[in-house]
Structure formats: structure tokens, C-alpha cells
Chain A
Amino acid sequence: MIKKYLPPLPQVIIIVFIIILLGLAIKIDIPASSLINDLFIRLILNCVLVISLIPMVNSGAGLNFGLPIGAVAGLLGMVITAQFGGKGLTGFLLSIAVSIPFAAASGTVYGHMLNRVKGREEIAATFTGFSIVSIMCLFWVVAPFTHPQMIWVLGGSGLRNTIGLRGFWEKSLYNLMQFKAGDIIIPAGSLLFIGIIIISLYFFSRTRTGMMMNAAGENESFARINGVNIEKIRKLSVIMSTVLASAGTCIYAQQYGFIELYSAPLMAAFPAISALLLGGSSGKRVFLRHAILGVILYQSLYLLSLPVANILLVPEMAEIIRMIVTSFIILYALAKKSEERGDV
């Protein structure tokens, strides 16, 4: 029972690793511009999903292992929009708008549930997320969607596993206000869109509610003593996180060009959580900069390991390394958090 302290941050290891990979990438002549372009794309894909975790962490509701709940709401918003013929940027924006009520409603129920399992949120959230994803699998099969680009052409009923967004709103945000600087593609519209989300969250943290939310997360008994309704504020944070996760999913699909249904969102929480933790949010408060730095580090690692894996003729390796890194970082953070709480 003698306390053992954990070795220094895994960030150091990751950064060293990235530098090695970067060296390798340069050695095999991968142009820097293509790396940067890919990094932009991966940022757009994942940034909002990672940011969506922040409200819940800051209110003390923990890392949102139930992120698939928001993701499913996003999927629902998108297929409904597509069914009714949403197209282009309007279609994309509409898909977010349609998912918000679903996300808010499921977030309310989910938040209520999390309040009842206080202290053990992670595991309860994980399985709530799994359950929602698997019950939605039933829904995707039976739901009365008719759009020919979304249902199986022959054999099998219900929606396809992956729905191509070509002809709907594939990359509509990515192409918005996009310009080139030399070989580098700057997706200004996407960056602006994500920027607006980040700025609104920043201003939210400077409101009374935002301040109360942060207090609830940092010191629950303090907040309670000083007039914060913990349950209410935590529920609000869960709704915010779920709504942001649904928007993040819409952005992801738009960029990726496909809506992935069925079991695709099952494991969505883990990479996002890992990226956030990688950004250095070992403390009780997470700042937006942690999320952004985390996404950059996490995605660079993935991006750089791809070409190296290909040289080794084992293309799966990039995915395997990502899997190991993701889980290692979460395990490290869990232990670190327990150490801080003095549970060891």
C-alpha cells in the first residue's frame, strides 16, 4: 500500500515518437505539403468530437465515454436530412440542425442517468453508449427510409452500412472558402466554422453558468456550499457535450464523404478521449487549448505512422499503433487521476 508515483507524462514519449516518425517520413521523401494538407483534414474530422468532451469534464461528469450517444443523434440528423433531399452546404447545416433536438433529448436522459451513477460514470456511460448503438442498429434496419442512395439496392432491408455523401453534401464545408497557398490547401471555411464553435465555448466559460459549471467540476462540495445546483448544471453539461458530439459527427461525415451507420460509432469515444488526454489535461479543468493540441499530436502520430507502416508492408500497423497509444494514454490518465484523488 505504499504510494508509488507514476513516471512523467506520456506526452514526452509521444512527441519523441512523432519526431522519429517525422524523420523517417522526410527520409522517404514524403512532401511536407501533403502531410500538412492531411493534417488539416484530420483536424477537421476530429476536432469537434474532441472538443465535445470538454463541457462534461469541466462539470465533473467525467470523460464522456458515452460519446456514441451524440454520434448516433448526428447520424439520425444526417439520414433524415438526406432522405428529404438536403444538398450542398445547406444540406450539411440542416443535418446539424436536425440532429440537435435528438442530441438534446437523449442528452437530457443520459445526463439524468449519469447523475444517478455519480462517481462511476465512465463504465455506466460506456455501456449506455454501446446499448444505444446496438438498439439503433435495429432502427437502421426497420426505419422507413426510401432514398435509393441510402437503402440496399437488392437483398436486405433498411439502410446501407455506409452511405456515400456524393450527391448530398460531401466536403461541402471543406470546399467552402478553400484556397491554396503554394501546395498547401487551406480549408478556410472549415477552420472558420470550427473557430466559431471554439469561440462560443470560450465565451460560455466567461458566463455565470460557465463559471458555475467549472466550479462544479473542480470542487463539488465547494460548489454545493456556494449555491450551485450540481445535478442541474451537470445535466446541462451532458446536453452540451452530446449536442457537440452530434455536430462533430456531422462534420466528420461531411469531410469523410460517408455516413457510417450500424456498429461504426461503437468505439468512437476512445480515440477522442485519448486525444484530449494527450493534450495535457491531467488536471480537473480542461481548456480548449488542451483539446486542440491533443488532436494535433494524436492525429500527427496516426498520419506519420501510415507511410512508415506501408514501407514495412504491414499497412495495419498504423491502426495497431493507434490502438495501443489510445488505450495506453487512457490507462495512464485513469491511474494519474486516482493518484491525485489519493485512492492509491
Chain B
Amino acid sequence: MRKFNPAPLFFALLSIIAFYYSDMSLLFVTNEVIIRIIRDSLLVFALIIPVTAGMGLNFSIIIGAMAAQAGWIFMLDLQVPGIRGIAGAALSGIFISFICGYIIGSYLNRVKGREMIATIIIGILGAGIYQFIFLVGYGTFIPAHNSELLLSRGAGIRDMVDLAPYRNIIDRLWLVDISGIQLPLFMFSIVAAAALAVKLILLTPAGQRFRAAGSDRVAAELSGINTDRTRIQAMIISTVLACLGQIIFLQNIGMVNVYTAHMNSDIFSCAALLAGGATIKEAKIRHALLGIVLFHSLYIVTPQAGQNIFSNAVLGEYFRSFIAYGSIAIALIINIRHEREKQGRLQ
């Protein structure tokens, strides 16, 4: 029996109420949501395969995000211009995230059943190493080629670096304006291609292996599937997708907040996925897309709604982070309980 998941309805309702009080124009919100779809989709897609493979929400997608930031910084440091720079950032990001994905996957094979808490802490460890490289390493033991990137003390990358050389190269491609709604068709096609790619992967024998490992790891192992390898593959795909997602995200924003841009990318992506009706056992592309629309509509309108209702915009901001954390907490608690009840029945 498929149970009705009230999450999308709940988010829709909240968004509508907040939208009503925010006094924002529908056109503005729509354009904002479109931007968010482009910025966040790939990060949310990155969560789908690990969920399918039974590893839960992959909070370590922030490692992929940091790989993307590293990619951008490398290109800025080497001053590679234009589309070559974008490609270079993507390729070096993919390379780093592939290796990280492999390492994370191998580690997660040693902590089966507790992957989610592990990925959270892997995220913290990754952030530490990342800061060590860029805040301490650059200019000291890593030679910097572009001194404009460095802090005035001569060691460490600045807090914020401009992506000016790469701005608007791809995200204004094929831009269509329909009565005020801006549709960047090229970026949409990238999102669509990523969605299709995830979908197609799930339709191959590899997808079948992910699903089998996610449904019952022991049974999958007994039927001849190397579940350890399957899970590593899932993490590699996830991390690489997250990296690509962050490349797009930063390119769209036009600058890199070197030490904060990755923060919360995991929490907001997970919350968006759950808002779309996914669980920690089952996630699909449509959950991701619906979730991004719902979660970000709410995200966009809450500060203004808070301002208008309580004359305090900060309340809206706190409210939306509570919604993000709260929806993950509730999804976890409900899901773990279901799992336990199911196990009880099977025995």
C-alpha cells in the first residue's frame, strides 16, 4: 500500500499563506523560483541515487559543492578565461569529486546503517580540509598565481571572489521572455539533461543494482550483487552531480563566497527533496522538481511575510531554517519507525 505523503501539500499550503502575506508579485516570485530551479536542481538530483541505494540522505554532497568551488578557484588562479574556464572548473571539480565520492563510498561501507550521520560528519571534515587548503595553504605551501585572490596578509584566498570573467556566458544563452517571465532555455536544458541522466541510470542494470541494494542489502549480496561496489558507485555519481550543481549555482550567482557558499547546500537540498514527497527510502526526479518549487517558493516569500505580519524579517528567516531542519527531522523519525515496524512484522 502506498501511503499518502502529506509533505507537498503542507509546503504548498504554507507557501500560499506566506505568499499571501508577503505582498510580493506573482511574477517576481515566479522568476525567483525559476532561478532557484536552475541553481539548485542538480544538487537535489544528486541525492536521488544514494537514497535509492539505501544509504539515506547524502549530506556529504557539500563535498561535491566544495569540489566545484575549488574548481572555480583553480581557474581564477590560473586565469583561464571564458567558456574554457567554465569547462576547466567543471572538469577539475569532477575529478576531485570523483575521488572524494570514491573515498566517501568506501568509508560508508564500513558504517552501514549509519550512513547519514557519517555523511554529516564527513561534510564537516571536508569543510575543515577545504578551509585548510584555501585559507591556510594558498600562498604558504601552495603557490598562488593570481595574487588578487589572496587576502592582504598574503596567505589564504579572500572570503569572496568574483566570477566576473565567467558571468552570463551560459545562463543568458537562449533567454526567452514571456510577458515578464524570464526563461533561460539553455540552463533549463542542462537541468533537463541532468534529470534525464539520473532517470536513465536508474533504468539500466546499474539502476537495478542500486534498487536491489537499497531494498535488501543482504539479499542483493546473496543474489550475486557486489553491494559494496554498488554503494561506492552511488556515492561517486552523487558527489559528481553535486559538484556540477554547485558549478551552475555559483556561475549563476556570479561570485564565490569561498568559505560559506557550500554551507547549508546539503540541508536545503535534502529539505527540498523531502518537501517534494520523497522519503529517505524512495526519491524520484519528480519529487526533486516539485520539492524545489515548493521549498523555494516558501524560502523566497517567508522573510517578507515575517516582515509584514510581525514587522520582523528575521523571523521569516528563522522560520524557514526551522522548516528545513524540522522537515528532515520528521522525515527521519517517521521513516525509522516505519522501518522498525516492518522489521517487526517480517520476523
In Å, the complex CA distance between A320 and B332 comes to 30
- Say yes or no: is A39 at the interface (Cβ < 8 Å to chain B): no
Given A117-B332, A141-B315, A314-B135, A335–B110 Cβ distance below 8 Å?
yes
Cross-interface CB contact of B329 among A124, A317, A323, A334, cutoff 8 Å:
A124
Task: Name A's interface SS.
Answer: helix
Contacting B at CB under 8 A, from A109-157, are 113, 116-120, 122-124, 126-128, 130-131, 133-135, 137-138, 141-142, 156-157
Cβ-defined contact, A320 with B318, below 8 A = no
Cβ-defined contact, B114 with A127, below 8 A = no
0 or 1 for each of A287-314: is its CB under 8 Å from B? (1 = yes) = 0000000000000000000000000111
Cβ-defined contact, B337 with A117, below 8 A = yes
| Interface residues in A, total, Cβ within 8 A | 48
A264 to chain B, nearest CB (A): 13
Given A120-B336, A156-B314, A314–B110 Cβ distance below 8 Å?
no
In Å, the complex CA distance between A185 and B326 comes to 45
Cβ-defined contact, B124 with A123, below 8 A = no
Cβ-defined contact, A123 with B114, below 8 A = yes
In Å, the complex CA distance between A335 and B310 comes to 47
Cβ-defined contact, B329 with A134, below 8 A = no
Cβ-defined contact, B122 with A331, below 8 A = yes
B231 to chain A, nearest CB (A): 12
0 or 1 for each of B105-149: is its CB under 8 Å from A? (1 = yes) = 001011111101110111011011101100110001000000000
Show 7 residue pairs from A and B whose CB-CB distance is below 8 angstroms, ordered by the A residue.
A122-B114, A126-B120, A128-B333, A312-B155, A314-B140, A320-B136, A324-B129
Interface residues, chain A, CB within 8 Å of chain B? 1, 4, 65, 113, 116-120, 122-124, 126-128, 130-131, 133-135, 137-138, 141-142, 156-158, 270, 312-314, 316-317, 320-321, 323-324, 326-328, 330-331, 334-335, 338-339, 343-344
Interface residues, chain B, CB within 8 Å of chain A? 56, 107, 109-114, 116-118, 120-122, 124-125, 127-129, 131-132, 135-136, 140, 153-156, 221, 228, 310, 312, 314-315, 318-319, 321-322, 324-326, 328-329, 332-333, 336-337, 340
10 nearest A-B residue pairs (beta carbon): A327-B125, A127-B329, A323-B128, A324-B128, A134-B322, A122-B117, A137-B318, A130-B325, A327-B124, A123-B116
